[in-house]
Structure 1
Amino acid sequence: MLDLLIEKGNVLINGRFETFDIGIINGKIVSLEKNSSDQKAFNRWNAAGKKIVPGFIDVHTHGGNGVDINNATTKDLLRLSRYFAAQGTTGWLASIITDTYERTVQCIEQICRAKAEIKDGAQILGIHLEGPFLSEAYKGAMNRRWLRKADNSLFETYQKSAAGLINYITISPEVEGAPELVKELSAKGVIVSIGHSGADYETALTCIRNGARSATHTFNAMRLLDHHAPGICGAVLETDIFCEAICDGKHLHPGIIRLLLKTKGLNRIVAITDSIMAAGLPDGFYNLGVSRVQVSDGDAKLISDGTRAGSTLTTSIALRNLMTYTGRKLEEVILLLTANPASMLNLGQHKGSIQIGKDADLVILDELLRVEMTIVGGNVVYLNSKP
């Protein structure tokens, strides 16, 4: 007996949409058949005319729907997970902006509790520390008071508080001790992303050779490419590391997104939201950690100096933007929100595509590519009741 049978949907399998029935037991996909009308199931869902794609994975977000991760309680984070599920996100990393030691530990504790308690929302896949080992000159929206040189003992203290849940960290290659820390953390299985950086080409390349696997919001808060001094951008574009990209039309011109895809290929770009608590809400005044942010026309900037401070983007909008900006098909750009982040986080055996044996993390899209249903681990966690 199947726990759930999704019937007659246009399922994305191996880069193509085909009509399949999806059988789910204990949170796993157990069957993909052309016609499973003879199979018995506790629950059946007719998805005729709908597209079924893998669940979206957001590796870089600071909040949404009124919740700022640096100031969130466990209850807030549970609400945030439900909001993310409504956008098609089935898994996400809780990104902690650089903050005091005490606040960072408090954030970690709340995230760990929320991960254990989530039952009806997107799954927390880990913690992303955006700092504190970052360059002051390219701090972006970070508070310079809490930036510091690379320190493995501090990281280990945070990791102990997180019971190993920190699986992603942004480090600037040029800060003192960064290349060595990149090597240490990479050897322990922590995914290191380089960013918030004015590093020269050689320093950035050293960190990549030492195991850095990604670049944080590529081109943003980053020394730009110069034909005489390629810098960190040149190292990132030349090598095969992953590149985060904020596809909201504000952080990156659509032409740059097309250039990134042409340079890196479809399999090496990870679409992120870098969203703040204002995502899903009207223009106004919001928080990002200890900083005050004004959102105008959907664009978030620090009140103090006008620096852009995250986005109001959601994964569902990012998907539609990618199609608009690139002119590519859904089955191509969907990789940036599914298989690529899963691969970057070493979760590709379980997530990121629709295959027998993988986690039943699925999104059902209507004809306008709006999220109609989100399924996490075989459980329906969001259903759009609007006609």
Structure 2
Amino acid sequence: MKKYYIVNGEVYINHRFEKANLLLEEGKLRICREDAPPEEGKPRICRADAPPAGCEIVDASGRWVVPGFLDVHTHGAVGVDVNGATAADLKKIGRFFAGNGTTAWLASVLTDTKEQTEWCIDQYLQSDQSDVPAAELLGIHLEGPFLAPEYKGAMPEHLLRNGCAALAAEYQERAKGNIRYITVSPEVEGVVEMIPKLRELGMTVAIGHSGADYQTAMSAIGAGADSCTHTFNAMRLLHQHEPAILGAALETDIYCEMICDGLHLHPGIVRLLLKTKGTERVVAITDSIMAAGLPDGRYHLGVNEVVVENGDAKLASDGTRAGSTLTQIRALRNLKKFTGYSLEELLPLFTENPAKLIGVYDRKGSIADGKDADLVLLTENLDIDRVFLRGTAFKKEG
């Protein structure tokens, strides 16, 4: 594998930017500082004019060097819907994501028939992570089927069902443990009771698509739910006499997903959510559908027909908003515009927080020795200059 030595950039380490050089070797990172003391058993490699042998020098002057973004909730892009995506289609999504700064992702499977859900799982297992550079597909997110009909959003109501740990276990066994994340509605019969089992199965549990009252939502959080799906959207909202599921999500320390496209959330709500939860407990997601990266038109999301006008995706049947056409680099720009927060403050929403949420922070989500060499080089205008995927330079198509 080719080695790279990135020099002269402002590198995002421990929540701040600093001057450092980065060695990318065998898909992993190593930080090299001019003023770092020699490490026992390791060669001192710091200067741009004396790189390790065999490295290609990457001059990152005028660039911010940041960890690659993670998207834990997306249903597709560039004409591919995850619910109908073949193994090759999943790689196509991954290449589009990589070109937009997302270096790792979860494939979100919308509530579907048991047969189609199993087919989606099989396609994930057949997807090849090595032949063509693309954002790494880390696993599966099941959005349903244990969801409330009253807040179904784009979910097909006739396929929603009560909590069933046996079915979840069957799906996880078929997925060989690769279902990392699942969205459930606390008020649905049997759901709160099954949350500990979902955690035992290796799934991070999010609550959403829900009209749960405050106490029921708190019971789900107490049982082990760690996140709230697209907070404020497709859920019962806050009332001073009945805080409901939203109140429980805001009060507790669970993570809150946020779709920052300027359509799902007013900029004032974006600021409120960040002020309430702090930047360490918000996860930026796209909830993108197959229309991401494509012009307005007619598309689908699972079994639903979707119409996209001015970038806004809605169900053709009743006008319900149905996912987004967002990319994570656009979300980052939007957040900067909406909040005035510094880049240092906003980056954890795209990197560290999602990595911690789904349990991959040991190798993803920050720039540190030994972690995967997933990097994005940004210009001062937050345009993407270069992307590295597990130590391989990515060439954007087009």
Q: Give TM-score scaled by structure 2 length.
A: 0.94
Cross-structure match for 2:33: 33
Q: Which residue of 2 aligns with 1:9?
A: 9
Aligned partner letter, 1:22? L
Shift of 1:142: 0.5
Show the counterpart of 2:121: 108
- 1:250-289 superposed Cα distances (whole Å, 9 cap, x missing partner): 0011110100111001100000000000001111000101
| SS of aligned partner of 1:167 | strand
Structure 1 SS opposite 2:104: strand
Q: CA deviation at 1:384?
A: 7.8
1:73-112 matches, cutoff 5 A: 73-112=86-125
**Structure 1 residues 50 and 305 mapped into 2: Cα distance closer, same or farther (>3 Å)?**
same
Q: CA RMSD in A?
A: 1.4
Listed as ranges, the gaps of 5+ residues in structure 2 are: 35-45
SS in 2 for 1:261: helix
SS of residue in 2 equivalent to 1:80:
helix
Instruction: State yes or no: 1:236 paired with 2:252.
Output: no
Q: What corresponds to 1:330 in structure 2?
A: 343
Per-residue Cα deviation, 1:163-212 (whole angstroms, up to 9, x for no partner): 11101000000011001111211233310000000001111000101100
Equivalent in 255, 260, 266 of residue 279 of structure 2: 266
**1:140 equivalenced with 2:153 (yes/no):** yes
- 162, 166, 170: which one pairs with 1:157? 170
Amino acid at match of 2:14: N
1:357 and 2:370 equivalent? Answer: yes
User: 1:371·1:384 contact (CA, 8 Å) conserved in 2?
Assistant: no
| Corresponding pairs, count | 385
Deviations 1:322-369 (A, max 9, x none): 100111111111110001101111222211111112111100112321
Which residue identity does 1:31 align to in structure 2? Answer: I
Q: Structure 1: where are the runs of 5+ without partners?
A: none
Which of 209, 220, 244 is residue 207 of structure 1 equivalent to? 220
The alpha-carbon deviation at position 69 of structure 1 amounts to 0.6
1: distance between equivalents of 2:128 and 2:172? 15
Identity %: 54
Distance 1:382 1:113 in 2: 24
Does the 8 Å contact 1:375/1:382 carry over to 2? Answer: no
- Aligned partners of 2:356 and 2:236: how far apart in 1? 27
SS in 1 for 2:72: strand
For the residues of structure 1 that align with 2:17 and 2:395, how far apart are their CA atoms? 23
| CA distance in 2 between partners of 1:134 and 1:26 (Å) | 43
Q: Find the counterpart in structure 2 of residue 378 from structure 1.
A: 391
Q: For residue 183 of structure 1, what is the amino acid of its counterpart?
A: P
Q: CA shift at 1:118, angstroms? A: 5.5
Is 1:285 matched up with 2:319?
Answer: no
CA–CA separation in structure 1 for the residues paired with 2:280 and 2:70:
15
TM-score (norm 1): 0.97
In structure 1, the residue matched to 2:208 is 195
Higher alpha-carbon deviation: 364-373 or 309-318? 364-373
Q: 1:314 and 1:48 mapped to 2: Cα distance? A: 26
Tell me the residue number matched to 1:128: 141
